[in-house]
């Protein structure tokens, strides 16, 4: 055993009947390895090698640094509940236990956030490392730890790191994880000690995942090569405030007090101390039009807040100049490892809370299911952190979801309150064009020197590489330094009158709130200890990055919502929707919104609050621009409708009702399109057979539904024909080639000028992705049956289309034969789940390793129901195919009337060890929509405990 840990009794997990099943799987693994890799290779990958890293979960281990005994109680799914007598012991034990289960995942994450993946995986990660070094997440995290975080937070982080290091002490790589054994064949990498900064850095990665509208800025600019301002505006319609409700519905911004207040019955929404900055700025209404001009001219396409008849204040030449630059930036962003997420595209989440007057318990119920890229192991880690007695020395009694590598609980409940999160989507990133001159950049007519630093990237099995990172004002990294393509395009870019001469080309710099040191780690611990609404708001005020929709419920029968975050203000006339000139100080952020200016609700009269990435507040009630790129409210309105159906029917909502709502598969776009599709005359009898599947369909997308399979294929083909084939190559799927008119992408192709263009974007990132923005685009075009969007040329035997119904008919034909190729000619064998499958992949060796390693580490497929913009949001990208791209990464329902009757589930399992019993033991139940019991009280935890490990000083 390692020198700092001594086992005195106990055994490894698996004394139940699962042991035989696991041993059989391990023997199969060994046989496969022996057959494929040879006898010597197979012998190395023996059962003992596979099991060497499994955690000890019972008995006693001596852990130096503890002040008293700590118990780790695991239930039948390996989920740990930790009991201690001091905060430091609690978090030291958390670090030890998470390292037992997930250290490889933790190690990869810290190498990701610090731009050191090349140290583990070799030269193929140099470009990723260079980009991440340029962002400098670990540098910002270190500044946070040294200058921003409270003394108590540092103490907890230090204790957590000590627990991780106690686990690592004396263990070789293969004793820690199977992946290290695999790496040992090509690399002599050895894990190093954990630091508190390693924990803080992961919050930066999650902030990047949830960074707002940066991708929309890029896409709008790229569209200008083929589309005009009015066409682009049609593809980014205004939020449908008249149809889909905002999160906050009661109250308005009070100009006299400078705060957001509710006006219902004089109800105060709580105070909470004002710990943040007071920012001034004037920002424009969300319903504003376009961007300002200013000296040098704003650049890019039309703002997403414009109507379809509006035009951008920027010139087409400005937008065209950005196209090549932003294409290069997109490629860098898109190449980041999937461990970070889906790079801000398509991410959603559901969370809602129902007050006691509408529930069967008379107390609130709170549900949450964040939508993230599917990964193995899941990004979430379930656990409970309990002080045996709450005292000044030991203050925590909390349970829920956190990240491996992070102390505390991020989402969950304590004995008094529960909370959930969804991405708010507020705009906290801006791209700036920079005029580079020598060793500096132009700013208000003067050349200002870059702030530079040299970084050395160490490479496993190769020579190190040095890079120079350049930053402009406000610590903005020059991202264009990381792409040769950007340099070349910058030399050739065409610019508008009034802009500085291009010289050697323009650069692109990023302003992002997460690159400023903050206090989000303080917020995690403050939320874990919060006892009421005021405590909760005080914790939310510390949650500066990423900005999340926070919902709240407590055992005293109160519910609430708070928008937190460090949200910038901009000069009047700019709204953050397009890149702006960096050479003009007019476009610099003017400040940040004070916390008390941010929207909130407390005990609204309607008795419930729904957040699902929709608009936070109506612009008529709020003077500041939060973003121009909300989600369009499809999921949130469906959840609202389900709640109101129950309430108006005189019923009370139960935990089971909340679970059923989470599983709602209804397709809102099908409700709009199917009645029209059924009226279209189809000549081909085989296509008519498929069309008839839609007759009587209830619009639910169950895994076994043939109608869902056919409709989603029709929807995919409508999008492709109407929009996808008319987008520039930079947005289309890589390798999909078209003959297009280089002058205009709408209308018939001129055979004398057409050229062949191939898409350039990864399949799961291409457009049109089929999300609810596209629902809204199609909805607004439905009555304009002769819109140019509804035209498509003939292709082979497929007919041309000159209006809406002809294009719909063509889509039904294409869908029939696409599914025939994929699922067979017999429509009786079709099902949505056969198309819509989930594969869980280890995010390093499971995606890039040898085939046999992928076989060992990866799992799947699972046939899923649900779909894009459904409440049961198993997302897929309509441009790229039908496979599941992102999922409800966990689901929970908290019962504030009896916390032990709360329910939860994770995407995978507690363990990160392949072939451990808890590697994917929750996935089948997750896929079936089931929830597991969630014990909280000491008695309930004891009743569910299968293994107990005692950690002693």
pLDDT (mean) for 487-502: 57
pLDDT (mean) for 218-238: 88
pLDDT of 751 reads 58
The residue that leads in pLDDT, 713 or 14, is 713
Whether 29 shows a pLDDT value over 60: the answer reads no
Whether 730 shows a pLDDT value over 90: the answer reads no
Q: Are 646 and 231 in contact (CB under 8 A)?
A: no
Q: How confident is the model at residue 21 (pLDDT cuts 50, 70, 90)?
A: very low
pLDDT of 348 reads 77
The residue that leads in pLDDT, 53 or 540, is 540
DSSP 376: B
Q: How confident is the model at residue 233 (pLDDT cuts 50, 70, 90)?
A: very high
Whether 9 shows a pLDDT value over 80: the answer reads no
pLDDT (mean) for 488-501: 57
As a whole number of angstroms, the distance between CA 405 and CA 382 comes to: 12
Among 877, 920, 884, 425, smallest CA distance to 636 is for 425
The residue that leads in pLDDT, 915 or 847, is 915
Beta carbons within 10 angstroms of residue 605's beta carbon:
11
Q: How confident is the model at residue 306 (pLDDT cuts 50, 70, 90)?
A: very low
Question: How far, rounded to the nearest angstrom, does the alpha carbon of residue 897 sit from its chain's CA centroid?
Answer: 31
Counting residues of the chain whose pLDDT is more than 90, the rounded percentage is 67
Q: Are 951 and 70 in contact (CB under 8 A)?
A: yes
Highest mean pLDDT among 181-190, 306-315, 406-415: 406-415
Rg for the chain (alpha carbons), in Å? 28
Whether 837 shows a pLDDT value over 50: the answer reads yes
Whether 258 shows a pLDDT value over 80: the answer reads no
pLDDT of 318 reads 40
Phi, psi dihedrals of residue 630, rounded to the nearest 5°: -70, 160
Counting residues of the chain whose pLDDT is more than 70, the rounded percentage is 82
Phi, psi dihedrals of residue 245, rounded to the nearest 5°: -70, 150
pLDDT (mean) for 909-927: 97
Q: Are 157 and 199 in contact (CB under 8 A)?
A: yes
pLDDT of 220 reads 81
Q: How confident is the model at residue 467 (pLDDT cuts 50, 70, 90)?
A: very high
Residue ranges in 184-313 assigned as alpha helix (H): 196-209, 214-223, 229-235
As a whole number of angstroms, the distance between CA 333 and CA 39 comes to: 42
Q: Give Cβ neighbours of residue 306 (< 8 Å, ≥ 6 apart).
A: 229, 233, 236, 238, 289, 290, 312
pLDDT of 740 reads 77
pLDDT (mean) for 798-813: 97
Summarize pLDDT for 312-368 with one digit per residue, the tens.
333 333 434 445 445 554 455 455 544 444 344 445 799 999 999 999 999 999 999
pLDDT of 910 reads 98
As a whole number of angstroms, the distance between CA 431 and CA 578 comes to: 8
Both tokens of 496, joined, read: 């508008």
Strands 476-477 and 451-457: unpaired
Q: Assign 490 to helix, strand or coil.
A: helix
pLDDT (mean) for 418-440: 91
Q: How confident is the model at residue 950 (pLDDT cuts 50, 70, 90)?
A: very high
The residues with which 366 forms a beta bridge, in sequence order, are: 353, 894
Q: Are 113 and 201 in contact (CB under 8 A)?
A: yes
Strands 506-512 and 429-437: antiparallel
pLDDT (mean) for 593-618: 96
Summarize pLDDT for 150-195 with one digit per residue, the tens.
999 999 999 999 999 999 999 998 899 988 888 877 778 889 999 9
Question: How far, rounded to the nearest angstrom, does the alpha carbon of residue 599 sit from its chain's CA centroid?
Answer: 23
Strands 252-254 and 259-261: antiparallel
pLDDT (mean) for 400-423: 97
As a whole number of angstroms, the distance between CA 176 and CA 188 comes to: 15
The residue that leads in pLDDT, 542 or 252, is 542
pLDDT (mean) for 859-879: 96
As a whole number of angstroms, the distance between CA 582 and CA 655 comes to: 52
As a whole number of angstroms, the distance between CA 117 and CA 845 comes to: 12
Between the alpha carbon of residue 413 and those of residues 278, 356, 384, 900, the distances in Å are 31, 17, 10, 11
As a whole number of angstroms, the distance between CA 426 and CA 212 comes to: 6
Q: Are 148 and 157 in contact (CB under 8 A)?
A: no
Return the ∠ at Cα 492 (arms to 490 and 495), rounded to 5°.
80
Q: Give Cβ neighbours of residue 246 (< 8 Å, ≥ 6 apart).
A: 614, 615, 616, 617, 618
Whether 6 shows a pLDDT value over 50: the answer reads no
Q: Are 625 and 762 in contact (CB under 8 A)?
A: no
Phi, psi dihedrals of residue 616, rounded to the nearest 5°: -75, -45
Summarize pLDDT for 511-547 with one digit per residue, the tens.
999 999 999 999 999 999 999 999 999 999 999 998 9
Between the alpha carbon of residue 116 and those of residues 120, 136, 247, 310, the distances in Å are 8, 11, 40, 46
Please tell me the least confidently modeled range out of 33-47, 585-599, 717-731, 900-914: 33-47
pLDDT (mean) for 415-426: 95
Q: Assign 634 to helix, strand or coil.
A: helix
Give the mean pLDDT of the chain: 85
Q: Are 18 and 63 in contact (CB under 8 A)?
A: no
Return the ∠ at Cα 56 (arms to 52 and 58), rounded to 5°.
150
pLDDT (mean) for 576-594: 89
Tokens 């937008």 label which residue? 319
Q: Assign 24 to helix, strand or coil.
A: helix
Whether 925 shows a pLDDT value over 50: the answer reads yes
pLDDT of 47 reads 66
Both tokens of 269, joined, read: 């929404």
pLDDT of 46 reads 60
Summarize pLDDT for 763-797 with one digit per residue, the tens.
888 999 999 999 999 999 999 999 999 999 998 88
pLDDT (mean) for 267-276: 31
pLDDT of 48 reads 67
């Amino acid at each position: 055993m390692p020198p700092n840990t001594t086992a005195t009794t106990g055994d490894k997990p698996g004394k139940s009947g699962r042991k035989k099943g696991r041993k059989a799987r391990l023997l199969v693994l060994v046989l496969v390895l022996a057959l494929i890799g040879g006898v010597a290779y197979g012998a190395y990958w023996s059962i003992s090698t596979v099991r060497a890293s499994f955690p000890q979960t019972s008995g006693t281990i001596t852990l130096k640094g503890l002040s008293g005994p700590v118990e780790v109680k695991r239930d039948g799914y390996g989920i740990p509940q930790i009991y201690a007598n001091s905060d430091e012991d609690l978090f030291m034990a958390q670090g030890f236990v998470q390292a037992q289960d997930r250290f490889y995942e933790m190690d990869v994450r810290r190498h990701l956030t610090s731009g050191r993946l090349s140290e583990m995986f070799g030269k193929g990660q140099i470009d990723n490392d260079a980009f991440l070094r340029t962002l400098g997440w670990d540098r910002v995290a270190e500044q946070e730890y040294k200058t921003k975080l409270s003394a108590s937070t540092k103490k907890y982080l230090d204790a957590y790191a000590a627990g991780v290091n106690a686990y690592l002490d004396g263990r070789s790589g293969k004793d820690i994880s199977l992946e290290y054994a695999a790496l040992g064949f090509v690399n002599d990498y050895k894990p190093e000690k954990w630091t508190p900064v390693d924990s803080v850095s992961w919050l930066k990665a999650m902030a990047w995942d949830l960074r707002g509208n940066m991708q929309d800025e890029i896409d709008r600019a790229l569209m200008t090569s083929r589309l005009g301002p009015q066409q682009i505006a049609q593809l980014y319609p205004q939020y449908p405030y008249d149809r889909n409700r905002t999160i906050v519905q009661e109250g308005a911004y009070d100009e006299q007090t400078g705060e957001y207040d509710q006006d219902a019955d004089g109800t105060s929404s709580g105070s909470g101390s004002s710990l943040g900055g007071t920012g001034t700025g004037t920002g424009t209404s969300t319903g504003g039009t376009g961007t300002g001009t200013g000296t040098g001219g704003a650049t890019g396409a039309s703002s997403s807040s414009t109507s379809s008849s509006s035009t951008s204040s920027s010139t087409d030449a400005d937008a065209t100049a950005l196209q090549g630059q932003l294409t290069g930036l997109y490629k860098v962003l898109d190449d980041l490892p999937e461990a970070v997420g889906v790079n801000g595209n398509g991410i959603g989440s559901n969370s809602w809370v129902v007050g006691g007057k509408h529930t069967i318990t008379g107390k609130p119920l709170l549900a949450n299911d964040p939508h993230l890229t599917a990964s193995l192991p899941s990004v979430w880690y379930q656990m409970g952190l309990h002080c045996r007695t709450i005292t000044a020395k030991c203050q925590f009694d909390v349970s829920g979801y956190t990240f491996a590598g992070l102390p505390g609980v991020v989402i969950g409940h304590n004995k008094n309150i529960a909370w959930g999160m969804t991405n708010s989507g507020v705009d906290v990133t801006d791209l700036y064009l920079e005029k580079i001159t020598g060793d500096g950049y132009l700013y208000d007519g003067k050349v200002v020197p870059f702030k530079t630093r040299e970084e050395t990237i160490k490479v496993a099995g190769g020579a190190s590489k040095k890079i120079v990172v350049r930053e402009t004002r406000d610590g903005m990294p020059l991202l264009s330094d990381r792409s040769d393509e950007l340099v070349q395009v910058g030399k050739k870019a065409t610019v508008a009158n009034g802009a500085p001469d291009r010289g050697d080309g323009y650069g692109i710099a990023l302003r992002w709130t997460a690159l400023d040191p903050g206090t989000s780690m303080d917020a995690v611990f403050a939320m874990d200890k919060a006892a009421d609404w005021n405590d909760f708001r005080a914790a939310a005020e510390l949650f500066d990055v990423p900005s999340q929709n926070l919902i709240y419920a407590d055992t005293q029968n109160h519910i609430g919502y708070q928008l937190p975050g460090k949200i910038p203000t901009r000069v009047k006339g700019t709204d953050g929707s397009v890149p702006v000139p960096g050479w003009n100080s007019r476009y610099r952020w003017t400040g940040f919104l004070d916390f008390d200016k941010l929207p909130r609700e407390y005990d609204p009269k309607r008795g419930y609050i729904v957040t699902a990435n929709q608009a936070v507040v109506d612009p008529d009630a709020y003077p500041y621009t939060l973003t121009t790129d909300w989600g369009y409210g499809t999921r949130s309105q469906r959840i609202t409708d389900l709640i109101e159906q129950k309430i108006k029917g005189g019923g009370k909502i139960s935990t089971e009702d909340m679970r059923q709502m989470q599983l709602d598969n209804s397709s809102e776009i099908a409700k709009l399109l199917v009645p029209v599709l059924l009226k279209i005359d189809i000549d081909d009898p085989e296509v008519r057979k498929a069309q008839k599947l839609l007759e009587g369909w209830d619009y639910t997308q169950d895994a076994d539904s043939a109608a869902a399979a056919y409709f989603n294929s029709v929807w995919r083909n409508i999008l492709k024909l109407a929009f996808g084939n008319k987008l520039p190559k930079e947005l289309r799927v890589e390798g999909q080639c078209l003959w297009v008119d280089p002058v205009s992408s709408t209308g018939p192709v001129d055979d004398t000028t057409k050229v062949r263009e191939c898409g350039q974007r990864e399949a799961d990132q291409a457009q049109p992705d089929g999300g609810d923005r596209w629902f809204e685009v199609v909805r607004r075009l439905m009555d304009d049956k002769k819109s140019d969007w509804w035209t498509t040329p003939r292709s082979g035997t497929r007919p041309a289309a000159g209006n809406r119904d002809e294009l719909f008919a063509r889509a039904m034909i294409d869908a029939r034969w696409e599914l025939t190729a994929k699922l067979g000619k017999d429509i009786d064998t079709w099902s949505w789940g056969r198309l819509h499958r989930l594969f869980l992949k280890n995010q390093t060796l499971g995606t890039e390793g040898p085939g046999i390693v992928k076989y060992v580490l990866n799992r799947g497929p699972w046939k899923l129901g649900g779909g894009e913009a459904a409440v049961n949001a198993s997302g897929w990208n309509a441009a790229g195919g039908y496979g599941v791209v992102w999922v409800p990464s966990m689901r929970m329902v908290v019962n504030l009337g009896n916390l032990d009757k709360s329910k939860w589930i994770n995407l995978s399992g507690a363990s990160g060890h392949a072939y451990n019993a808890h590697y994917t033991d929750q996935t089948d139940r997750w896929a079936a929509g089931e929830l597991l019991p969630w014990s909280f009280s000491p008695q309930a935890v004891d009743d569910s405990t299968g293994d107990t490990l005692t950690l002693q000083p």
